[in-house]
Amino acid sequence: MEVRKFSERVNVKPSRMARRLIALDETCVKVNGLEYWVYAAIDVDRNEIISMRVYPSRNALATEQFIREVLKYCEGKPTFIVDNAPWLKQTLEELDLPYNAEPFRK
């Protein structure tokens, strides 16, 4: 699977530390006719990938699971930067996490 090959080449080994801003996004990729959702979180100040995960669907459960995983590498509550995706904003609100909604693409 191409997604697995990609993840083997990306070095993602974050440490737990104070983080100020985290950009959070997801995108759909198609592999062998099937859709998968790739979630990514990047520490904006360090330009460091904190986490990258592939899910078979995009839903509230996958979004919450991903954000909780990202928080394992954060001290305190960083501010998340997200696009206007309602599932991202809703999950961050439910977890009582600060965020700024900004369009990533024009």
Q: Which of 34, 87, 29 is nearest to 63 (CA)?
A: 87
Question: Does 52 or 13 have the greater pLDDT score?
Answer: 52
Strands 99-101 and 79-82: parallel
pTM of structure: 0.83
Q: What is the pLDDT of residue 102?
A: 87
Confidence of residue 1 (pLDDT cuts 50, 70, 90): very low
Span 78-98, pLDDT tens digits: 999 999 889 899 999 999 999
**How many residues in the chain?**
106
* Domains of the chain (ranges, CATH numbers): 2-101 (3.30.420.10)
Query: What confidence tier does 12 reach under pLDDT thresholds 50, 70, 90?
Result: low
Separation CA 99–CA 93 (nearest Å):
8
